[in-house]
Amino acid sequence: MQVIQSLREIVGPRYVLTDEDCARWASDWTGGYQGQPMAVLRPGDRDEVSAILRLASQHRLPVVPVSGNTGLVGGALAAESLVLSLDRMNRIRSISPDARVAIVEAGVVVAALDDAAGAHGLTFPLAFGAAGSAMIGGVLSTNAGGANVLHYGNTRDLCLGLEVVLADGRVLDLMSALHKNNSGFDLRNLMIGAEGQLGIITAAVLKLHPRPTQHATAMVAMPALDDAPDLLNALQDASGGAVVAYEFMPRSFVEGHLALIPNAREPFEAAHPVNLLVELAATRTGPLTEVLEQVLAAWLEAGKIVDAVLAQNETQRREMWARREAAAEIAFHRKPFIDTDIAVPLNRVADYLREIEPRLRDLDPDCAMLSVAHLGDGNIHYTCFPSRDDAGLKSAMRDQIDRLAIEMGGTFSAEHGVGRSKLAPMARFKDPVALDVMRSLKSTLDPLGILNPGKTLPAPD
């Protein structure tokens, strides 16, 4: 109680939540990770975060940072820990249209930043289904990806500078808007993707891009996925690199969408095994739609695609995107499920999807599968529904999904982070020297181990 009282003195009594008031932070978005926090703290600025961490270090109390709580890997599980919610630190400090940068606090919602940038003809182009609730601190801490990585890169590629509070309360000021800065180790990129293990991100300098003034969007059907990389290359070549999204949805995904989402419609008159969502964007005037039409017409004539539907207006474009953005609802509506986030080289995606199903059916002949992919960067969200809720079976199936990705030169974690759910593959597949270096960095910056304990780094053997 003495510690709770001290925390109330730092942030104010109304911003220290305990008992049933912590319910919102006691479960993750999936419902798969649940734990009652010791307390939830909602600081209003960096100095309050610093004071909280000094007190937590003094008493060796675990601290779990949370932004929008939209993670999928248990990275914000906070049983018997202090939850540090950044939701009140939601100020957009400045937008500089001439430099195309924004200075924002960690609690700014991704979509809110994009809206604010839009007033200046700019965009913050991080696009994924949870953009309306995910916050800047969270997407930086996980190096989030999404549908526009093909054109704009991951969150790391959109960040110029950071403000980070370390475990002992010291403030690491890396708030530079420079595009070139070779003055020592790259501590900014070290913090991005560290899942709060090395410090608490409280603010950032972010890149903005010109807001597209036109889009050309289409659903494309193919008989098989093997030619999809060549179609992407053809579109990039014809448009001068204007492809911003290239998404894959198999027939099983479309059927799941039709079954679950009210008023959902088929993307084509006939059913097809391979359904692609393709989008080109540009800030200049020019025949962008015509470029897309010409490439697709040539591929139709060659028999490499079997159907194509172009969005004729913004309503049709949004309907196409709504189908893809329903992926989380479709994947998580059925239990038990195994949710994964692997990536392989672009030219191995078709091979992966062919080879993984028989491996899983060898383990569980009655299982069901669902996949969706950011095809432009090789990131596959592969969900498996085992026929029984058996921990050993689920572990074996997850191992096969991850193992095949590694065999093909890929990774078991593409954009969701590691959290708790990927500790086993971290121990199994990550280079042991890399793990040793990570643990050394962790022990140097957080010697008491109070920052987001039990996540990201597996315990040493």
CATH number, domain with residue 398: 3.30.70.2740
| Spatial separation of the C-alpha atoms in residues 231 and 237, rounded to whole Å | 10
| Spatial separation of the C-alpha atoms in residues 85 and 63, rounded to whole Å | 10
Same domain, 96 and 203: yes
Same domain, 109 and 53: no
Question: How many domains is the chain built from?
Answer: 4
Cβ-Cβ contacts under 8 Å for 184 (sequence gap 6 or more): none
Instruction: Check residue 70 and give its pLDDT.
Output: 86
- Total-model pTM: 0.94
Q: List the strands of the sheet with 39-41, edge to edge.
A: 16-17, 39-41, 82-85, 63-66
Same domain, 98 and 195: yes
Instruction: Check residue 32 and give its pLDDT.
Output: 79
Q: Is position 451 within any domain?
A: no
Of 85, 104, 125, the residue at which a domain comes to its end is: 85
What is the span of the domain harbouring residue 22? 2-85
Same domain, 237 and 316: yes
Instruction: Check residue 101 and give its pLDDT.
Output: 98
Same domain, 158 and 76: no
Cβ-Cβ contacts under 8 Å for 308 (sequence gap 6 or more): 218, 219, 220, 221, 296, 300
Instruction: Check residue 29 and give its pLDDT.
Output: 78
Same domain, 184 and 150: yes
Instruction: Check residue 284 and give its pLDDT.
Output: 79
Nearest to 340 by CA among 366, 379, 367, 376: 379
Q: Is position 438 within any domain?
A: no
Instruction: Check residue 33 and give its pLDDT.
Output: 86
| pLDDT by residue, tens only, the chain of 461 residues | 799 999 999 999 999 999 999 999 998 877 778 899 999 999 999 999 999 999 999 999 999 999 988 888 888 988 999 999 999 999 999 999 999 999 999 999 999 999 999 999 999 999 998 899 999 999 999 999 999 999 999 999 999 999 999 999 999 999 999 999 999 999 999 999 999 999 999 999 999 999 999 999 999 999 999 999 999 999 999 999 999 999 999 999 999 999 999 999 999 999 999 999 999 999 977 789 999 999 999 999 999 999 999 999 999 999 999 999 999 889 888 889 999 999 999 999 999 999 999 999 999 999 999 999 999 999 999 999 999 999 999 999 999 999 999 999 999 999 999 999 999 999 999 999 999 999 999 999 999 999 999 999 999 87
Instruction: Check residue 68 and give its pLDDT.
Output: 87
| Spatial separation of the C-alpha atoms in residues 232 and 347, rounded to whole Å | 11
Q: Do the beta carbons of residue 163 and residue 47 sit within 8 Å? A: no
Instruction: Check residue 11 and give its pLDDT.
Output: 98
Instruction: Check residue 223 and give its pLDDT.
Output: 95
| Spatial separation of the C-alpha atoms in residues 440 and 434, rounded to whole Å | 10
Instruction: Check residue 72 and give its pLDDT.
Output: 84
Nearest to 193 by CA among 239, 157, 246: 157
Helix (H, G, I), strand (E, B) or coil at 83: strand
CA atoms within 13 Å, Cβ hemisphere of 274: 20
Same domain, 111 and 192: yes
The radius of gyration of the chain's CA atoms, rounded to the nearest angstrom, is 23
Of 270, 294, 328, the residue at which a domain comes to its end is: 328
Instruction: Check residue 206 and give its pLDDT.
Output: 98
DSSP 8-state code for residue 251:
H
Instruction: Check residue 18 and give its pLDDT.
Output: 95
